[in-house]
Amino acid sequence: MIGLEPAMLDAAALAAAARLAQSVGAELAALFVEDINLLRWASLPFAQEIGAASAARRPVAAADIERALRVQAEQLKRALAQGVQHLELQWTFEVARGQGLRVLLEYAGTSDIVVLAGSAGRFTWQPALEALLKSAFSFELAAPGCVAAALGSGPEAMRVLSAAHTLAQASDAELVLLIFGEAAREGGIAEQAAAWLRERGAAARIALMPDHEPRQIAELIERERVQALFWPGGDHELRNLEIAALASVISCPLMVVK
């Protein structure tokens, strides 16, 4: 699942999501999120906007915003259909209302991977939607580097490893495993991951991390030129806040494994 609206749109995230879905025969589920905060603002009696061409102030009505969001959703749906038409890839497009990241994480099922664009790597200006999706699905954007997977002691660790290994193989990239704190000192998860990879004729490099501090992880991503970071997801609020903080500072797509 990936958020497909301008506040979340990123060519690298789209490419990573499509490549992973294609590699495992999964469906690419696009979710357009109508920002509830924008609609609340438009409902205020003093809400105004300034015209880009005229610089004139004019009132804003909630009905106008809802109409604009419907038009935008249709444009994105058409652009998605055009972008994936040369791929053997099943896809869906749905619309939900709420706050972007929260809706994405809540909307996905327990077996889904939610793909988020790293805010630090996303440009404020975006090209035309059709051009952005066409370039993303051409798979010509993958920069040299590696795929990283954050492994903890939780039950989703091997799902994270499996998904990261799949994308690394599809991208012909090195796999780097991030192991944190107690898990690093105990060493069990590193041995388990190494054995899992050996069974598949693969290997990975280990990066030991003292904690989950987002800035340190962002520095490693820059240093290692990471193409995508796989991260364990969860249904509790604390984990969602951790994911939001991480996505706000990293420069690559964040692949949240639910």
Mean pLDDT within 76-80: 88
State the Cα–Cα distance between residues 26 and 90, nearest whole angstrom: 7
- Cα–Cα distance, 253 to 226 (Å, whole number): 9
- Calculate the average pLDDT of the chain: 84
Residue carrying the six token digits 């327990």: 110
For residue 8, the SS3 value is coil
Distance CA 243, CA 171 (A): 24
Q: Is there a contact between 9 and 30 (Cβ–Cβ < 8 Å)? A: no
Sequence ranges of the domains in the chain: 2-40+63-136, 146-257
Taking the domain 2-40+63-136, which CATH number applies? 3.40.50.12370
Nearest of 255, 235, 17, 257 to residue 106 by alpha carbon: 235
Q: Give the contacts of 184 (CB within 8 A, at least 6 positions apart).
A: 190, 208, 209
Q: Which DSSP helix (H) or strand (E) runs through 135?
A: helix 129-136
pLDDT band (50, 70, 90) for residue 120: low
Distance CA 60, CA 49 (A): 6
pLDDT at residue 143 in the model: 58
| R_g (Cα) of the chain, nearest Å | 19
- For the domain spanning 146-257, the CATH number is 3.40.50.620
Q: What are the two backbone dihedrals, phi and then psi, of residue 99, each rounded to the nearest 5 degrees?
A: -100, 130
Predicted pLDDT of residue 188: 83
Dig out the tokens for 151 from the structure: 């492994």
Residue 86, pLDDT score: 81
Residue 123 confidence class, pLDDT cut points 50, 70, 90: low
pLDDT at 79 over 80: yes
Quick: pLDDT tens for 17-68.
998 998 888 999 999 988 888 888 888 888 887 877 777 888 888 888 899 8
pLDDT in tens, 229-257: 999 986 666 677 888 889 889 989 999 99
For residue 187, pLDDT over 70 is answered with: no
Ranking 8-12, 129-133, 223-227 by mean pLDDT, the lowest is: 129-133
Q: Is residue 185 scored above 60 in pLDDT?
A: no
User: How confident is the model at residue 182, as a pLDDT?
Assistant: 64
User: What's residue 153's pLDDT?
Assistant: 72
pTM score, two decimals?
0.86
Condensed to tens digits (0 to 9), the pLDDT of residues 136-157 reads: 776 655 556 899 999 987 778 8
Mind spelling out the 3-state secondary structure of 53-92?
CCCCEEECCHHHHHHHHHHHHHHHHHHHHHHCCCCCCCEE
Q: What is the mean pLDDT of residues 106-133?
A: 71
CB atoms within 10 A of CB 98: 15
- Could you tell me which residue, 235 or 213, shows the higher pLDDT? 213
Which tokens is 222 given? 């820059």
For residue 226, list its beta bridge partners.
146
| Position 97, amino acid | R
Query: Is the pLDDT reported for residue 121 higher than 90?
Result: no
pLDDT of residue 145: 81
2-40+63-136 and 146-257, same CATH topology? yes
